Amino acid sequence: MAGKITAAFIVFVTIAFLANFGHVACNPAIATVYDPMQVCIENCAQCKKMLGAWFEGPLCAESCITFKGKLIPDCENFASISPFLNKL
């Protein structure tokens, strides 16, 4: 009797898993409103706070507007912020 219940449970779980397998999406826009331009400008502000006078914040914000948030700067990634650094 316990074997039949276990087998039925395994079949049920397998069917439930397969029915929902294709419907999973890992996009942050589903949970919250995800605006790449907002993230880009917020990252520019964060980099300006971290790097101070060495970072050209307005130039970074202008690039966010120009490229519509497609090039999001990462303060810890030199390649993404190098266009906005100055020598002082």
**Percentages of the chain per state (helix, strand, coil), in multiples of 5:** 70, 0, 25
> Residues, the chain, total?
88
Cα–Cα distance between 70 and 75 in angstroms, integer?
A: 16
- Write down the pTM of the prediction: 0.61
Beta bridge partners of 73: none
What is the reported pLDDT for 60? Answer: 96
What is the reported pLDDT for 28? Answer: 56
Q: What tokens were used for 56?
A: 């050209």
What is the reported pLDDT for 30? Answer: 54
Quick check: 41 pLDDT over 90? yes
Quick check: 37 pLDDT over 80? yes
Domain residue extents for the chain: 2-84
pLDDT tens digits for range 59-82: 999 999 999 999 999 999 999 999
Contact between 48 and 57 (Cβ < 8 Å): yes
Cα–Cα distance between 20 and 43 in angstroms, integer?
A: 36
State the sign of the Cα–Cα–Cα–Cα dihedral 46, 37, 85, 80: positive
Quick check: 46 pLDDT over 90? yes
